[in-house]
Structure 1
Amino acid sequence: MMTKAIDTERFRTYADSFEGQLVLPDAEGYDAARKVWNGLIDRRPALIARCANADDVVRSVRFARENNLLVSVRGGGHHVAGYAVCDEGMMIDMSAMRTVTVDPGARIARVQAGALWADVDAAAQAHGLATPGGEVSLTGVAGLTLGGGVGYMRRKYGLSCDNLLAVEIVTADGQWRRASERENSDLFWALRGGGGNFGIVTVFEFRLYPVGPQVVTLNPIYPFDQSRSVLETWRRFAETAPEEASTSFGIWGIPEHPDIPAELHGTPVCLLDGMFIGPVEQGETLFQPLRDVGEPILDLGGPTTYLEAQQGFDEFMQDGDLYYWKSLYLDQLSNEAVDTMMSWVKRRPNPRLLVIIRHLGGAVSRVAESATAYQNRKAQFMFSIDGAWSDPAESERNIAWVRGFWEAMNRYSNGGVYVNFPGFGENPQHLWQSSYGNNYRKLVAVKTKYDPTNFFRMNQNIKPVAQTGN
């Protein structure tokens, strides 16, 4: 039944022109349509508009404006804060728009906003090409890219947003626009790291690079009591690592998997993770010292295809599990920071709580801080606490631990977070100002120009001038 907040006659006119599917709360598929990846998110929109094309997006934005509806935008639906779904408003769902077309001669991929990175990887690898995506191939292209996009090729080719050539976008006034370095360049600047603040991107155009099909992965898993020696070896490796290698250090519990002996499931461990995208022999030689730090419990790395490497963590990030992730940037990995980290990880309340430190630098750091909205280019590491569990009874304890750990590590950071891993965006005004630093004022200006009423606010929200009082 249509909610009273929506004018019935206007809805009929909108529905008659809509080419996709409109899902109301009494529809059979409503509960499935409103669910997102993070099972902690349980919201009920008044209307779900599953768009078939950009014209549907335009119609939906205009209809939402006419009826003063809160709008959320779903791409892949994988943001940990659940921005894709709202209560009582309208979810504009892009998930049916997943077409990826590749021009191998120009090395350009044209990607619809509902696509997952698996879609992009498969289409591009058919031509021996790739663009920097994330670390889980089931992640949505749109959210990851708009928030920056940290993946396995970051040190060689930068972030996902660094490889954007253009976008097609529907802004808050219901107008279709193209944005690039030449067209609406201020909007294009803001979209590269500024989140979903400025409209609904319907198409992304990415630069592609020759990659694969063979790469070398790094994934030795060591006993937890070897954490310090493994971390020290990795930290020294990172100081001189070539840009073809993007690596991380983590502390986790061995996940449940049919290929892993059951008696090892949940065992606390430290691990190294990464990818080398240069010649296979060079990668094997480069990674060997990291595989020989001690006696690994398991070693899941080695030569493989790029597609397989991109999918390696997919099954450990299941839809419907419960997630809470927070992050920080570290300019250096000091001994004091390591001491604090080790004191906390010994008290992890759940073996699935992953603590990971990603090595940055390389191509990420060569882009000027002011060149895109994405900040913290000079940070050498990104520290992330990725909480995951399945029992709702554990939620309060696990979230409290992640928050406490994050606060303890905050003293070693400038307070900025990777905006794709913000927890639930607590204390948003301070959080986003800290995260965007000197770029924040320009983001406010672009937001004020393209969305002066803050129509798009289910996101890493940058408030326009009228709402900030600036």
Structure 2
Amino acid sequence: MSIETAQGVLGDATIGELEAALSGTLVRPGDAAYDEAREVWNAAHDGRPALIVRCAGTADVIRAVEFARSQNLLVAVRGGAHSIAGFSTCDGGIVIDLSAMKGVRVDPAGRRAVAQPGLTWGELDHETQAFGLAVTGGLVSSTGVAGFTLGGGVGWLLRRHGLACDNLVGADVVTADGRLVHADAEENPELFWALRGGGGNFGVVTSFEFELHPVGPQVLAGLVIYPAAEAQQVVSRWRDLTAAMPDELTTLVNLTTAPPLPFLPESVHGTRIVVLAGMYAGGMEAGEAAVRPLRSLGTPLADVMGPMPYLGMQTLLDPLWTRGAYNYFTSAFVEPTDQAIDAVLGAHLSTPTPFSEVHLHHLGGAFGRVPADATAFSQRDASMLCNVIARSPGPEDFDGHIAWARGAREEIARHGNGGMYVNFTGDAAEDKVRAAYPDAVHARLVRVKDEYDPTNLFRLNQNIRPSSAS
């Protein structure tokens, strides 16, 4: 059966040749597995690709890239399939699905892990924590290792050990011409630089090598929850505390609506709250001293911060972030002045659904000590990152929710440098790309793009357009 794509019609023989060359599986429209295979975590994106290649290994990735190039197909690359901005699906193109590639090898003596791109952070953490090791991972364990790392990677180890991309020490990449190349500090160093924060612009990463660090298995972590009536006091006092926080302590403020959690009074359920979340990556005694001030920022509704498994902290938020909801994330790097805090609190008071949130992440520490030119992620002088999240269980008025998030972000961004976190830019647009990368960084990324993807085959991302497309 021939298949219509956005670029034309693929004949039976052409499709059959691709399928015969794969160790994995090829899924077409009309196949029993098609609807399940095309689904992504973020229901706001409902793409209908012409073909889905479920890759079993690197050879399948090479074949899929060669096929896409030869047939001039739009390419979406899928790892963990969170698809916050919709980049892991498409209409009428080909999805290179890496989700079956879940191999991982941990070297506990050398403190290294080699991970395939289909892994989620929960799966990688499971392997590394067997040896009391970890690398900065996602705040939700279903987040894919690949996209998270390529866009930077903000998590609970950020202030102690930097971003996920700061801990990337090597990668294998299938480039647009079907070559497999290795990138590290010595081999293809410019590609290696670009992979650490430049997103999926330069090829399909089939292997990530991470530096690991001693973490856990027990850490001092959890939540302290305050009423929204004390938000101004709590957030301002937390802001003041961050100036002297040790690098081992990473914290964020989540302005949200109280879910029906068993440790919260029933009268609080469904009301706006301030959640102070944090983790201390160090000894328990020092951790207790470091988090003690967080317990007295106001009048806590609940205090569930204490010793817990690192894996417990990494999965703590999972029940609130299940697949199938509609999501829109946007962001701004901000300086936490009184005016910025007012803007953040104003956004919280205007959230359009009880599932929508505003986060303030404290940065600095190891994150801030990485030289600005060491990685493509270069926003190292920012002290805080604000994420604005519109989330709804269904599509009703979701366009209005997106408009709220964009408007809130614009108001909050007035109190920063105008920059955005590339993993949370909401959607694909040139102004979002330029907000994520300063001019000199963007120009350097274009030079790498010119070398490894001059025809812009990999353009479903926060796209760095090659010179030929400018």
TM-score range, shorter chain: over 0.9
1:156 to 157, 160, 167: 160
Amino acid of the structure 1 residue aligned with 2:400: R
Match of 1:316 in 2: 320
Amino acid of the structure 1 residue aligned with 2:344: M
Match of 1:303 in 2: 307
Q: Does 1:207 align with 2:211?
A: yes
> Within 2, Cα distance between the matches of 1:278 and 1:199?
37
Displacement of 1:2: 3.3
Match of 2:173 in 1: 169
Match of 1:366 in 2: 369
Match of 2:433 in 1: 432
Match of 1:49 in 2: 53
Q: Does 1:347 align with 2:350?
A: yes
- Cα 1:375–1:79 change in 2 (3 A) is farther
Q: Does 1:357 align with 2:360?
A: yes
> Within 2, Cα distance between the matches of 1:2 and 1:259?
56
Query: How many equivalent pairs are there?
Result: 465
Asked if structure 2 preserves the Cα contact closer than 8 Å seen for 1:7 and 1:67, the reply is: no
Match of 1:273 in 2: 277
> Within 1, Cα distance between the matches of 2:17 and 2:262?
52
Give the alignment's Cα RMSD to 1 decimal.
1.3
> Within 2, Cα distance between the matches of 1:411 and 1:319?
32
Displacement of 1:340: 2.1
Displacement of 1:110: 0.6
Amino acid of the structure 2 residue aligned with 1:464: P
Asked if structure 1 preserves the Cα contact closer than 8 Å seen for 2:347 and 2:358, the reply is: no
The DSSP-based 3-state class of the residue aligned with 2:131 is coil
Deviating more after overlay: 198-207 vs 349-358: 349-358
Q: Does 1:441 align with 2:443?
A: yes
The one-character-per-residue Cα deviations of 1:250-309 (angstroms, maximum 9, x if unpaired) are 210012446656543321101111100111121122112211223211222211010101
Displacement of 1:397: 2.4
Match of 1:454 in 2: 456
Asked if structure 1 preserves the Cα contact closer than 8 Å seen for 2:331 and 2:386, the reply is: yes
Displacement of 1:389: 1.3
Displacement of 1:118: 0.6
> Within 1, Cα distance between the matches of 2:297 and 2:376?
39
> Within 2, Cα distance between the matches of 1:260 and 1:224?
14
Deviating more after overlay: 292-301 vs 360-369: 292-301
Deviating more after overlay: 261-270 vs 391-400: 261-270
Match of 1:465 in 2: 467
The one-character-per-residue Cα deviations of 1:141-192 (angstroms, maximum 9, x if unpaired) are 0000000001100011000000011001100001111111111111111000
Deviating more after overlay: 353-362 vs 292-301: 292-301
Q: How does 1:216-295 map to 2 (within 5 A)?
A: 216-257=220-261, 263-295=267-299
Deviating more after overlay: 285-294 vs 1-10: 1-10
Displacement of 1:218: 3.8
Consecutive unaligned residues in structure 1, runs of 5 or more: none
Amino acid of the structure 2 residue aligned with 1:395: F
Displacement of 1:342: 2.3
Q: How does 1:30-69 map to 2 (within 5 A)?
A: 30-69=34-73
Amino acid of the structure 1 residue aligned with 2:376: A
> Within 1, Cα distance between the matches of 2:292 and 2:436?
36
Match of 1:423 in 2: 426
Asked if structure 2 preserves the Cα contact closer than 8 Å seen for 1:218 and 1:287, the reply is: no
Displacement of 1:353: 1.2
Amino acid of the structure 2 residue aligned with 1:460: Q
Asked if structure 2 preserves the Cα contact closer than 8 Å seen for 1:2 and 1:46, the reply is: no
The one-character-per-residue Cα deviations of 1:332-377 (angstroms, maximum 9, x if unpaired) are 2111111222233222222211111000011111111111100211
Asked if structure 1 preserves the Cα contact closer than 8 Å seen for 2:223 and 2:277, the reply is: yes
> Within 2, Cα distance between the matches of 1:315 and 1:2?
42
Amino acid of the structure 2 residue aligned with 1:457: R
The DSSP-based 3-state class of the residue aligned with 2:322 is coil
The DSSP-based 3-state class of the residue aligned with 2:69 is helix
> Within 1, Cα distance between the matches of 2:205 and 2:142?
19
Amino acid of the structure 2 residue aligned with 1:223: P
Q: Does 1:142 align with 2:143?
A: no
> Matched residues, percent identical?
44
> Within 1, Cα distance between the matches of 2:384 and 2:344?
14
Deviating more after overlay: 53-62 vs 11-20: 11-20
Amino acid of the structure 1 residue aligned with 2:346: S
Match of 1:92 in 2: 96
Amino acid of the structure 2 residue aligned with 1:71: V
Asked if structure 2 preserves the Cα contact closer than 8 Å seen for 1:432 and 1:462, the reply is: yes
